[in-house]
Structure 1
C-alpha cells in the first residue's frame, strides 16, 4: 500500500468511526455529520471553481438562525 493509499484508507476508516459515534448521539450527532458533509462539499466545489456552494450554505444557515434565533 502506498503512502497515499494508506492515508485515504485511514481517512475513510476515521470517517466511518466518527459517523457511527455521532449517529449514536441522536439528532445532535446527525446534525454534526451533516455539517461536516456540507463543509466538505463546499470546499470541494470551491476547488472546482464554484463559489456558490458556500453562498448557498450561508443562506441556509441564515434561514435556520432566523427561524430559531431570538
Structure 2
C-alpha cells in the first residue's frame, strides 16, 4: 500500500509538474521564453531562501544581473 504524500511532498510534486509543462511551453517561444523561465525560477529560489533567513541568493542574483548588464550594455 502506498503512503499518501505529505503536504511538502505534494507541493514539490506539483511544482515539478507545473515547471515541466511551463518549460515545454516556454521552449516553444525560443531563447526569450527560456530566459523568462529561468528568471522566474531564480526569483523563486531567492525568495524561498530569504524566507528562511538566507539572503545570499538575492545577493548572488543581483551580482549575476549586474555582470550581465555590464557585458551586454544597458
Structure 1 residues 19-58: aligned runs within 5 Å? 19-58=23-62
**Residue aligning to 2:65:** 61
Structure 1 gap ranges (5+)? none
State TM-score, norm by structure 2: 0.71
State TM-score, norm by structure 1: 0.75
Structure 2 gap ranges (5+)? 1-6
More helix by share: 1
Measured on the aligned residues, the alpha-carbon RMSD in Å equals 2.2
- Runs (4+) of structure 1 exceeding 4 A deviation are 8-14
